[in-house]
Amino acid sequence: MIASNNFRYDISFLRCIAVLAVVLYHFKFPYTHGGFIGVDIFFVISGYLMTKIVLTGIESTSFDLLSFYLRRVVRIFPALMFLLVAVFFLTQLFLGLKIPGYIDSAIWSSVFLSNIKYYLTSGYFDGASKTNLLLHTWSLSVEWQFYMIYPIFLLFINKIFKSRIAMIVGISTLTLISFILCAIYSIKDQSLAFYMVHTRAWEMLLGGIAFVGSQWAERIMSLQVRSAITMCSLLTLALCITNVIPVAHYGWPSALTLIPAIVTFLVILSNSNVSIFTWRLPNFISDVSYSWYLWHWPIAVFALYFTVHEGVNNKILLIMLSFVAAICSYFFVEKKMYHWKPSYLLYLAGSIFTLFLLISNLDYSRLVIYDSEKKIINDFYTYKDSIAPRQYDFGRGHILSTSNFQDWDQSHLDKIRPDVDNYLLIGDSHAGMFGNLMPDIALTKNVNILQASGDATFPSPASHTDFEAPKDLFKYIFDSYIPENHQHFKGVVISANYASYDDETLLNYIDSTEKYFAQFDIPVIYIGQTESYIIDYPIANLLSSRYGVSLNRYIDHRTSEANNFLKNSHIASRYVDIYDVKSNTSNEDETDYIYDAGHLSVSGLKMYKDILEREVFEKFISN
């Protein structure tokens, strides 16, 4: 069963392709929309190498489980721990408001559980993943968890059956089970399918099958055939990375994940060391690939915060900077610490973990350097837990993506008043954020407004959402609640983050909504798009003040485009333009008028009271 121990230049070349794909994708380099498949390539490679190490050791009776784990410590810990500490100081110096969130992520990353952390906090209100400095460590956590479990499985199969056939059947069976779980959860829970080891293990197990089948492939296929398979497979990977094969048009993982996984498997299985595999540059990139993977993402996030992430020239410079960081990490950390005793590395990792844990218990204001950050950091991190629940009326007026519709309190929708006109406010979280303001205005106008809003879901019978609870909410609203109560409502007020959709999808959703309410003769008015930012507004405001970066550079331009599109659409007469109200309104608390990247705070809502009272209540509701 033991394959050749000669250096596998093909695997080195695959590793080069994988890291280049991921780096180019994360820096949004042109024509690399499918670059995320680099992670899938890494998974298959890891499965091959781990299977080779374990089975070769078992067959030579030299395999020791503890030694295997300690070798993984030596390989993985140094560069990761160095990154965690270095980025901590960089974050504290330049992005102080991010420190509490960074420490939380660092704790989970240092114990290789960040994939679980990100799955558990992958709801709509848990912040943009694009600004998480350690988001990329999820794949390291998946691989580490696989490393911990997989050798035990192989040892068990070997102890019980002591058969090559049994080993192949065992690995293949586990691969099939994992793939089936991935297929099921890619439909039921895309986030779980993406982050969890049992739904991604099949890719690594494919690498294991490539190892146990490599000698078979060499026996039945000529070198010319294997070389042809290799070149066709590499071409297929290129088509995936450039999105010619449209991998980026679907959720991930999906059925299309089979393509990069299988062609990577075929390259490894073919074991064809064609001439390009031996070139020096690809092999050097392969050598530094781990450090490059670690460093490229934090640099991409910092570039976003300082608005130097756009433009091909900037992207090239950032890629080069991340490559230099990777080279430094490789030569001065990975290679220097490779011969350290594993016990020293474990002690160092434990110390770093303990330090982060202790820091996490400090008051937020003690974690930042600048006084301007000390003033707002507690509100920045506590708003969603302490103020937002009342603002949105979580669990009653608004349903979260992480909620269960069966637990949602529907009783407030029964509060239809026969003595006044009743209106219904529906939409996504951009309707929910008005949930505190609209009823207050309604009281002064002697009307009654009920609210039904849900995360990341346009209020349309035709809309699609990745979240079950909001989907169930609007199914109830459109299938049951409105048909049973339409006679009580004089109108519907809709608010949404229209910028989340392309123009064609947006029109389809609006037309579906218009047609639905027209059958009940219920008029509809739309509260317009508000501005959003590419990063959290409080941080953008601080960076603007400290470094002179124009706030306009942080604006998500899609919000302006969506607003202009709707102002000139067929709903223009019923579309209330509230875009950029802030620039025309004074507000003593204007520094936090948006508490995250795009949702108005209670303070910020004050700036919108007059225009909503005038355009919604006086023009629409009073008529």
Tens digits of per-residue pLDDT, 15-58?
Answer: 999 999 999 999 999 999 999 999 999 999 999 999 999 999 99
CA R_g for the chain: 27
The whole-chain average pLDDT of the chain stands at 93
Tens digits of per-residue pLDDT, 425-472?
Answer: 999 999 999 998 999 999 999 999 999 999 999 999 998 888 889 999
Give me the pLDDT at residue 428, please: 97
Can you give the residue range of the structural domain that contains 397?
377-621
Give me the pLDDT at residue 619, please: 79
User: Which of these three, 366, 391, 411, is where a domain ends?
Assistant: 366
Is 1 inside a domain boundary? Answer: no
Q: Do 387 and 346 belong to one domain?
A: no
Count: domains in the chain: 2
Q: Do 506 and 604 belong to one domain?
A: yes
SS3 readout for 141-165: HHHHHHHHHHHHHHHHHHHHHCCHH
Q: Do 295 and 411 belong to one domain?
A: no
- Beta 524-527 vs 575-576: how paired, if at all? parallel
Tens digits of per-residue pLDDT, 147-171?
Answer: 999 999 999 999 998 888 899 999 9
User: Which of these three, 366, 390, 408, is where a domain ends?
Assistant: 366
Quote the tokens at residue 504: 């064609």
The torsion of the CA quartet 441, 442, 443, 448, rounded to 10 degrees, works out to -160
Q: Do 400 and 347 belong to one domain?
A: no
Percent of the chain scored above 90 by pLDDT? 83
Residue 422's DSSP bridge partners are 448, 489
**CATH number of the domain that 386 lies in?**
3.40.50.1110
Tens digits of per-residue pLDDT, 212-225?
Answer: 988 888 889 999 99
Q: Which of 173, 102, 116 is nearest to 144 (CA)?
A: 116
Give me the pLDDT at residue 3, please: 43
Cβ-proximal residues to 245 (8 Å cutoff; 6+ apart), any chain = 34, 236, 239, 256, 259
Q: Do 313 and 446 belong to one domain?
A: no
Tens digits of per-residue pLDDT, 234-246?
Answer: 999 999 999 999 9
Instruction: In whole angstroms, give the CA distance from residue 404 to residue 467.
Output: 10
Q: Do 18 and 166 belong to one domain?
A: yes
Is 506 inside a domain boundary? Answer: yes
User: Which of these three, 366, 385, 401, is where a domain ends?
Assistant: 366
Is 371 inside a domain boundary? Answer: no
Is 601 inside a domain boundary? Answer: yes
Tens digits of per-residue pLDDT, 269-300?
Answer: 999 988 999 999 999 999 999 999 999 999 99
Is 3 inside a domain boundary? Answer: no
Is 372 inside a domain boundary? Answer: no
Q: Do 302 and 209 belong to one domain?
A: yes
Q: Do 423 and 531 belong to one domain?
A: yes
Q: Do 128 and 80 belong to one domain?
A: yes
Tens digits of per-residue pLDDT, 361-390?
Answer: 999 888 888 888 888 898 888 898 899 999
- pTM assigned to the model: 0.92
Query: 463 near 509, Cβ under 8 Å?
Result: yes
Q: Do 407 and 327 belong to one domain?
A: no
Is 126 inside a domain boundary? Answer: yes
Query: 560 near 531, Cβ under 8 Å?
Result: yes
Q: Do 389 and 535 belong to one domain?
A: yes
> Which burial class, exposed, middle or buried, applies to 406 when counting CB atoms under 10 A from its CB (0-12, 13-18, 19+)?
exposed
Pick the range with the lowest mean pLDDT from 119-128, 247-256, 382-391, 489-498: 119-128
Give me the pLDDT at residue 437, please: 94
Q: Do 354 and 423 belong to one domain?
A: no
Give me the pLDDT at residue 470, please: 95
Section 109-126 average pLDDT: 86
Is 4 inside a domain boundary? Answer: no
